[in-house]
Amino acid sequence: MTPRRLPGTNWRGTALLQCPLLGRQPVRDDPMRPIRILMALALSAAGLLPTGPALAQNPFAAIVRTTDPLSPKEQLEKFHLPPGFEIQLFAAEPGIQKPMNLAFDGRGRLWVSGSVEYPFVADPGHGRDSIRILEDTTGDGRADRITTFADGLNIPIGLYPYRDGVVVYSVPNIYFLRDTDGDGHADRREILYGPLDAPVDTHGMQNAFRRGFDGWLYINHGFRNDTTIAGSDGSKITLNSGNTYRVRLDGSRVEQYTWGQVNPFGSTFTPGGDLITADCHSKPLTLLLRGAHYSSFNKPHDGLGFAPNMTEHSHGSTAIAGAAYCDGAFPVAWQGSLLVANVMTCRVHRDTLVLHGSSVEAHEQPDLLDCDDPWFRPVDLRFGPDGALYVADFYNRIIGHYEVPLDHPQRDRTRGRIWRVVYRGVRQDHPQQLANVDLTTASTDELIAVLASPSMDQRMLATDQLTDRIGPPAIDPLRQMLQDAPNVPARVHTMWALYRLKALKLAEVERLAHAPEATVRRHAMRALAETAVTSAQSRELAIAALRDVDPAVRRAAADAIGQHPTTESIGPLLRALEEAATDDVQLRHTIRLAIRNQLRAPLRDGDNPFAMLEGLNLDPAGHELMASIAQSIHTEQAATYIVDRLQTQVPAVDVMLARLKHAASYASETLIDRIVPLVRKHAKDDVDLQKQLLQTLQQQRSQRGLPPTDSLRDWGTTLAAELLKSLDREANTWGVARGGDLWDFEERKSADRRQATRFLSSLPGGERGTSVLRSVPFEIPPQLSFFICGHRGFPDKPPLDANFVVIRLAETGRIAGHAFPPRHDVAQPVVWDLSEYQGQRGYLEIVDGLNLSAYAWLAVARFEPDVVPLTMASPRTIAQRQIAAAAIAEALQLSHLADPLRRIVRAETTGAEARSAAVAAIVTLEPNPVAAAFVSILGEAGVNPVLQLTIADAIADRDSAKLDELAQQTMKTSPMRVQQKLADGLAASPIGSGVLLDLIERGIASARLLQSASLRQKLLAADQPTMASRIEQLTANLPAASEQLDSILKQRRTSFLAAAASAERGQLQFTRHCAVCHQVQGQGAVVGPQLDGVGNRGLERILEDVLDPNRNLDAAFHVSLLATSDGRVLTGLFRRKEGKSLIFAANDGKEFS
């Protein structure tokens, strides 16, 4: 091994180069375009993909490693560790299969789940995977005895050695594999839980089996899978994707522990009793609060908000697995640290824990180890009872589950290693020596002595032996140890051993709750939380602990109270929340969870827990707090409480919307009729607020599968009319010609020191957006002056020319005046001499063409003469009103508003989005399947603006003959991307399908459109007798799409390597095209996968994702084909279920239900 390099970033030291855009490319079967295509393109351009020499020099940059495998001996020389640490090879192929999870038994033996089947589930009875037991009988740090305990398994992951065998997950059950005759091999298989649902994703499933202090077995549930688990006592949970849960080892009971995370894989307990998971996709480390929700792909929280994070850094990729807590076997500086593995960067990272009260925050430190062999894939970490860290190495050229096809021939199935890390340096702290004893044969006294060990892992194993093997005879010695314990760990583990043996007395818990050591008091509260039967005395103990000097004790007390709800506890919890430090976010969230539990606990029939709040004499702040918590309680009583509070307290708009969403989800018809006049009263004449409130109520009713109530319909009818009237009152002088509705009013100062003036600005709409705002035509004066402020890109960069103001001649479009923003927040004057054009008709254009994170806006005002007066409502507000009126008319089927909507369509100042909304509403009110097909292409950049206006007018005029002509024109003049969208729209109905096939047969539209699998599915779903034969005839002589794409891939790869780089262009393209569905370093949305570390996929894979997304598209992101009762055929990515509504994401990232 070579000396460790100086710590740097979490990435390899090679510089990552950027790539330019690849240009346009043909579209092949691309129903979910944002999910794999432009985001990969932009990310590579943004510098996350190495190119040219960097790719050749840096094998870590390739998702399919380019190096050859090394022997274990060769790989050993590639590790780097800090001074004093040493790494040893503990085991390798052929002695083991590819390791998945690790666990130790009381004899100090390492149990390993191994697989050759992964990633494909074997047919029942044909699995070749195994559980093996590894022993070092000579003490040289190398396993010299390997026993196959069980074989014939099917992708076993989580395992826990227990009694005479092992509890393990192997598709499709959680088994107890037993060795009843003592020959070292399993001879009996008992199903504890199962069969579980068939997994659709095999890289998480049921993993990280960890026995808690309390004797429960805690388990992680992996990404994408849906699993129902039932206990013999009737308990049952259903899990979707990332979650954690716990089970009793006798198969009797299952309980969900937390909700959310994307793909937790690996976990560890801390000495204080907290459970921390590693998560492969969201946060590297997460401290779990029982009953809390954690962020996941597009999943909602419970109404309380997501639980606080303990980690904000990413460790350089989303491929995180395994977690381990450092205690007495490592040097003092390392004790209390967390270790987490990274399978993409080939490292084991270290984080230290910083406390804010009881809240834990992980701080990134230099790594424990990294490896120069890019095949090193650490998937699990466990400390052994010998104090060494054991690392499971899934040694492989390929680790990505989604990034590389599952059947890629270069996936290794035979190599696997386990590494052992020990500290050999000089220690100044004179550590206590670890016990060298076989715990499976140790006496009661010997086991009790081990409870004082500096190794938590040893203590846990000794506790297991005392409760699982010794049993009741250990009670009296344990009770004595509880009094005579030599240190805090001994007292803590003794308490838990008595608890597991059902021998822990409340008087003993009370003594422990008053112990001088905070850790002991904390565990006493945890024991109260697990006690099945409570008394007034135990409740008083927990309530008293809410005032403990140590905030971690207070957090444990709040959790205990949360598990045993009574309304009498609400007052003390409220006081504890008031006293909790604002930065102790985990304590505050735990108290809120506890209050929630008090309010949602089942009471006697007819009892209302919210009615009992009246006795607390809450002030307005207290009621506001309770209303915020009520949002997490899914009952009509909670909805009623929220509505009652709205009668006396008017919260901020965003809070009101959230509360209305809850109330509408659980309110009765009677309560809805109370809500409507209440919110209308709050909104008064503010039609913009009314539209938000109405749409929130209506959406929730729709998700419950309920029609609008009469009061909602009456309100909607009145409001839609009011919105349209307000538009008639506003003589709109500005309209969005292209881009988004960014333009709103804000106060700005001018260089002449005039008082702040109302400016028309693009900043309110966000600096990432782009837009062209155009005025109505006017007579050009001899001179025009105005003030302009804003920016042209970052101040330390050369100015960009994408933000400007121009005046154009109405007849020719010629520019008569041009001005850039001054790169300043204070507006500067501009004077145009227009005498040459005086008397002609002209119009103004304000162009925001910059899409940057900052310094990308502009604003104008104070035109003299006032050729284009600013209206009372901004262009953005007017557009929002137009869109809302259209949406309300469409949702409530207000056919009498079709004509006002036609006026919106025909108005020159109507923006593209508002025009599209009005057209969509008209098509719904006056159904026309061909017209409906055009809705998706209105606003598309690839469609000629004049053609778009003509299409919109034809739909408004109900001119079917004109629409047939426009379908031909669109197919002839638009790019393939637009043709594909129009074709998909036509294929959504039988009539449109006939029109599309006719266009292709006449040679007007390209037959290549039919090479899209999703389009063919839509057409065949129309169930027309000749459809299949017509499609077959039209595509018979076309070259295979794959041949075309292979040629393009090769061409683009060659041109890409020689291309000039532009990080700015890459950032711009990601924001424009990818952030709607994808997130990198916290920026963007989470509809599709997060893309941190996507550069590791390598050039070839990125190009495939850009040009041929379905080549590698994982099933997690396949679209659904939906045939509706009214004859439409839709496609979308399933996101979630809300009430009776299924929510899908369309190919523009927008959701529909």
Position 698 pLDDT exceeds 90: no
Domain with CATH 2.120.10.30 in the chain: 85-423
If you average pLDDT over residues 928-944, what whole number do you get? Answer: 85
For the ranges 221-225, 339-343, 383-387, 693-697, the lowest mean pLDDT is seen at 693-697
779 vs 427, higher pLDDT: 779
Tokens coding 683: 């909104």
Say if residues 106 and 96 touch (Cβ distance below 8 Å): no
Mean pLDDT of 231-251: 97
Give the pLDDT score at 603: 64
**Percent of the chain at pLDDT exceeding 70:** 84
Q: What is the pLDDT of residues 525-549, one digit of tens each?
A: 999 999 977 788 999 999 999 999 9
Predicted pLDDT of residue 1076? 60
- What does DSSP assign to residue 897? G
User: Bigger pLDDT: 723 or 434?
Assistant: 723
Q: What number is the average pLDDT over the span 666-692?
A: 86
Which ranges in the chain are annotated with CATH 2.60.120.260?
738-870
CATH number of 85-423: 2.120.10.30
Distance CA 899, CA 921 (A): 11
| Residues 236 and 228 sit within 8 Å (Cβ to Cβ) | yes
Choose between 219 and 617: higher pLDDT.
219
Lowest-confidence segment of 79-93, 695-709, 1067-1081 by average pLDDT: 1067-1081
| Nearest-angstrom CA–CA distance, 397 and 64 | 6
* Tokens 């309390």 sit on residue: 214
Q: What angle do CA 777, 780, 786 make, to 5 degrees?
A: 95
pLDDT at 146 over 70: yes
CA distances from 216 to 235, 252, 255, 344, 671 (A): 15, 11, 10, 32, 43
Overall average pLDDT of the 832-842 stretch: 96
Q: How many CB atoms lie within 10 A of CB 566?
A: 14
Average pLDDT in the chain: 86
Confirm whether pTM is higher than 0.85.
no
Q: Which of 470-484, 767-781, 901-915 has the lowest mean pLDDT?
A: 901-915
Q: List Cβ neighbours of 1074 (8 Å cut-off, separation of 6 or more).
A: 34, 38, 39, 42, 43, 1084, 1091
pLDDT above 80 (res 306): yes
Other Cβ atoms within 10 Å of 283 Cβ, number: 24
Q: How many CA atoms lie within 13 A of 1008 on its CB side?
A: 17
Instruction: Report the greatest alpha carbon distance in the chain.
Output: 107
CATH number for 738-870 (one of 2.40.160.50, 2.60.120.260, 3.30.450.20, 2.60.40.4070): it is: 2.60.120.260
870 band by pLDDT with thresholds 50, 70 and 90:
confident
The answer to whether residue 229 scores a pLDDT higher than 90 is: yes
Dist. CA 475–CA 467, nearest whole Å: 9
Taking a C-beta distance cutoff of 8 angstroms, is the pair 768, 853 a contact? yes
Q: Determine the average pLDDT of the residues in 253-263.
A: 96
pLDDT digits (tens, 9 = 90+) for 167-200: 999 999 999 999 999 999 999 999 999 999 999 8
The SS3 assignment for 730 reads coil
The pair of three-digit structure tokens given for residue 155, joined into one six-digit string:
């992708």
pLDDT at residue 1047 in the model: 66
Cα–Cα dist 313/284, whole Å: 8
Under 8 Å CB-to-CB from 203, ≥6 apart: which residues? 118, 119, 222, 223, 263, 265, 401
The Cα–Cα gap between 816 and 795 comes to 28
Per-residue model confidence (pLDDT) at position 952: 92
